[in-house]
């Protein structure tokens, strides 16, 4: 998994016990510029305790640009067919097929990463004795869901989980078992204006576009839904310092 993901320490605050692990989503980091932008956003949130970013291979915009470039070159070689409606339909289909394949690959990779999340968290000093909060955007929420579904977290103190525009499946039947693994609650930041989540290839309902159903364990509702209003899918990183404390409020 080391080739797929890397845990990077961003803030080494030793005055507080908490460890906060951010996990990004689809195509959020496919360049050094995007990596720097995400790190900057996390730092502006000013969380106390140690702060980490789990950087993983979640798809690249360059792949999409490559498909578009190849199509452009092909059309240039066949100018007479540029305005052929069947050729235009083929172009659209090729882009769509490429995007679907890349997204589904990243989705499967996020699930594999979740199943191996303990391996990464074990690199945090005193990982089993300190509270760990997991914050996932987009497919990052799917990583967390897959991790909790594996079970066996009794040796860790997984405190709160925070979803921002999460691409985890809202209709999954294992949410009660997953939330039994954490000591705190799951804070679900969602927006019905997040059109990206409504256009995923399989059209499954995602937690980031709707409120999650209640899950009561030992008399306590483990899910806190927070309506983020008109937030788009990419707004969460750009407005992280504003939206994170709104979603993750006791």
Mean pLDDT of 92-118: 79
Radius of gyration from C-alpha coordinates of the chain: 19
* pLDDT tens, position by position, 37-65: 999 999 999 999 999 999 999 887 444 44
- Decide if pLDDT at 94 tops 90: no
* pLDDT tens, position by position, 170-208: 999 999 999 999 999 999 999 999 988 887 766 689 999
Whole-prediction pTM: 0.85
Query: Would you place residue 67 in the very low, low, confident or very high pLDDT band (cuts 50, 70, 90)?
Result: very low
């Amino acid at each position: 998994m080391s080739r797929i993901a890397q845990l990077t320490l961003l803030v080494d605050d030793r005055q507080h016990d908490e460890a906060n692990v951010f996990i990004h989503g689809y195509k959020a980091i496919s360049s050094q510029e995007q990596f720097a932008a995400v790190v900057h956003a996390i730092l502006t949130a000013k969380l106390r305790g140690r702060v980490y970013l789990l950087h993983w291979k979640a798809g690249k915009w360059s792949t999409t640009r490559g498909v578009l470039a190849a199509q452009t070159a092909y059309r240039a070689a066949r100018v007479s067919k540029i305005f052929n409606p069947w050729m235009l339909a083929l172009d659209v289909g090729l882009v769509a097929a490429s995007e679907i394949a890349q997204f589904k690959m990243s989705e499967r990779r996020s699930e594999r990463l979740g199943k191996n999340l303990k391996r990464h968290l074990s690199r945090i000093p005193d990982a089993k004795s300190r509270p760990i909060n997991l914050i996932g955007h987009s497919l990052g929420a799917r990583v967390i869901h897959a991790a909790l579904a594996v079970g066996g977290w009794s040796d860790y103190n997984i405190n709160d989980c925070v979803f921002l525009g999460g691409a985890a499946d809202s209709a999954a039947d294992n949410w009660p078992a997953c939330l039994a693994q954490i000591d705190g609650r799951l804070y679900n930041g969602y927006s019905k204006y997040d059109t990206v989540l409504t256009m995923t290839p399989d059209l499954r309902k995602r937690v980031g576009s709707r409120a999650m159903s209640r899950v009561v364990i030992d008399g306590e509702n483990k899910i806190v839904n927070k309506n983020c209003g008109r937030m788009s899918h990419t707004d969460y990183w750009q407005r992280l310092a504003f939206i994170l404390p709104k979603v993750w409020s006791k």
